[in-house]
Chains A and B, each alone.
Chain A
Amino acid sequence: MMIKKIAFKEFKENLREGRFSVSTLIVSLLLLMGVWLSYNYLISVQQQHAEAKENARNIWVSQDEKNPHSAAHYGTYAFKPKYPLSLIDPGVDKYSGISIFLEAHKRNESQYMAASDQTGLARFGDLTPDFILLFIIPLLIILIGYNAFTREKEQGTLKLLKGQGISLWKLILGKWTGIFLPVLIITTILFVIASILLMNVKDFGELNYGVLALLFLVYLTYYAVFINITLIVSCTSKQSGISLVSLLAIWIVACLAMPKASSNLADTIYPYPSRQAFAAAIEKDKKAGLDGHNPWSQAAKDFERETLEKYGVDSLSQLPFNFDGYRMQKGEEHEAQVYFKHYAQLKKTHQQQTKVYQASAVVSPFLPTRFLSMALARTDYGSHWDFADAAENYRLKLQEALNMNFAENSSYGDWAYKADKTFWKDIPDFNYIPPSYGKIFERNWSNFAVLGLWLLVSFSGLKFLSQKL
Chain B
Amino acid sequence: MKTSSYINRYEFISLVRQRWLQFLVLILLVLVFFAVFNGKQKVDQRRSDIQSAQAKTNQKDSLGVILLDSIEAGYTVNVPRWYMPNQPHVIGYSYPRVAAMPPDELAIIATGQSDIYTHYVQPNLYGESFQLNYTELSNPVQLMFGSFDLSFVLINLLPLIVIAFTYNILSQEREQGILQVIASHPVSLYRWLLQKALMRYLLLSGILILLLVGLLSMAGVSLVADFSKTLTFILLTLGYLLFWFVLACLVNLRGHSSANNAVWLIAWWILLVLLVPSSVNQMANSLYPVPSRARLINELRVVNAEAEKKADKLLESFLRDHPELAGHEGGSTGWKEYFATQDLIKSEIQPVLDEYEMKLQQQQAWVDQLRFISPALLLQSSFNEISGTSTRHYEDYREQVSDFSLIWRDYFLPKIFRGEAFTKVMMAELPEFEYQSSTTHKLRTANILAVFICCSVLLLLGVLWSRQGKTSILAH
Contact = CB atoms under 8 A, between A and B. Distances in A.
B141 A263 contact: yes
Contacts of A135: 274
A143 B263 CA distance: 7
Interface stretch (B285-293, B442-450, B461-469): B285-293
A113 B377 contact: no
A288 interface: no
Q: Is the interface of B mostly helix, strand, loop or mixed?
A: helix
A245 B171 CA distance: 15
Interface stretch (B156-164, B233-241, B326-334): B156-164
Contact of B380 (A121, A139, A243): A121
Contact of B381 (A96, A97, A120): A120
A260 B148 contact: yes
Contacts of A112: 293-294, 296-297
A55 B117 CA distance: 29
Interface stretch (B224-232, B336-344, B356-364, B424-432): B356-364
B384 A120 contact: yes
A270 B113 CA distance: 21
A133 to B, nearest CB: 14
Interface stretch (B62-70, B129-137, B209-217): B129-137
A240 B257 contact: yes
Interface centre among A111, A124, A239, A244 (most CB of B within 10 A): A124
A212 B37 CA distance: 41
B294 A48 contact: yes
A428 interface: no
B277 A124 contact: yes
B201 to A, nearest CB: 18
A249 interface: yes
A119 B294 contact: no
A357 B280 CA distance: 30
A124 B301 CA distance: 35
A51 B294 contact: yes
Given A52-B298, A118-B284, A127-B282, A241 B167 contact: yes
Interface centre among A112, A126, A146 (most CB of B within 10 A): A112
Nearest to A384: B140
Given A95-B144, A121-B284, A381-B140, A244 B363 contact: no
B135 A127 contact: no
A111 B297 CA distance: 10
Instruction: For chain A, give the interface size range.
Output: 35 or more
Instruction: For chain B, give the interface size range.
Output: 35 or more
A52 B141 contact: no
A59 B140 CA distance: 31
A350 interface: yes
A118 B363 contact: yes
Given A95-B143, A260-B146, A296-B80, A122 B137 contact: no
B380 A120 contact: yes
Contacts of B292: 45, 48, 52
A115 B143 contact: yes
B163 A245 contact: yes
B293 A117 contact: yes
Given A121-B284, A122-B281, A245 B164 contact: yes
B145 interface: yes
A263 B147 contact: yes
A272 B277 contact: no
A99 B301 CA distance: 14
B148 A147 contact: no
B167 A245 contact: yes
B266 interface: yes
Interface in A238-269: 239-241, 243-245, 248-249, 252, 256-257, 259-264, 266-268
Contacts of A261: 34, 148
Contacts of B145: 259-260, 262-263
Interface string B98-132: 00000000000000110011101110000000000
A121 B367 contact: yes
B188 interface: no
A139 B172 CA distance: 24
A334 B262 CA distance: 64
Contacts of A3: none
Contact of B143 (A92, A131, A256, A353): A92
A241 B38 contact: no
B390 to A, nearest CB: 6
Interface centre among A37, A127, A239 (most CB of B within 10 A): A127
Contacts of A354: 141
- State the 8 A-B residue pairs at the shortest beta-carbon distance, nearest first: A240-B259, A241-B258, A52-B294, A95-B140, A92-B140, A124-B277, A112-B293, A260-B148
Interface of B: 34, 38, 41, 45, 49, 52-53, 80, 112-113, 116-118, 120-122, 133-148, 152, 156-157, 160, 163-164, 167-168, 171-172, 257-259, 261-263, 266-267, 270, 274-275, 277-282, 284-286, 290, 292-298, 301-302, 356, 359-360, 363-364, 367, 377, 380-381, 384, 390-391
7 contacts: A59-B298, A92-B143, A95-B140, A119-B363, A121-B278, A124-B277, A127-B279
Given A95-B144, A117-B359, A384-B140, 16 more contacts: A52-B297, A52-B298, A98-B293, A99-B294, A119-B284, A120-B380, A136-B274, A241-B172, A241-B257, A241-B258, A244-B266, A256-B156, A273-B137, A274-B137, A277-B49, A350-B139
Interface of A: 19, 23, 30, 37, 45, 48-49, 51-52, 55-56, 59, 77, 79, 91-92, 94-99, 109, 111-127, 131, 135-136, 139, 143, 146-147, 150, 239-241, 243-245, 248-249, 252, 256-257, 259-264, 266-268, 271-278, 296, 346, 350, 353-354, 357, 380-381, 384
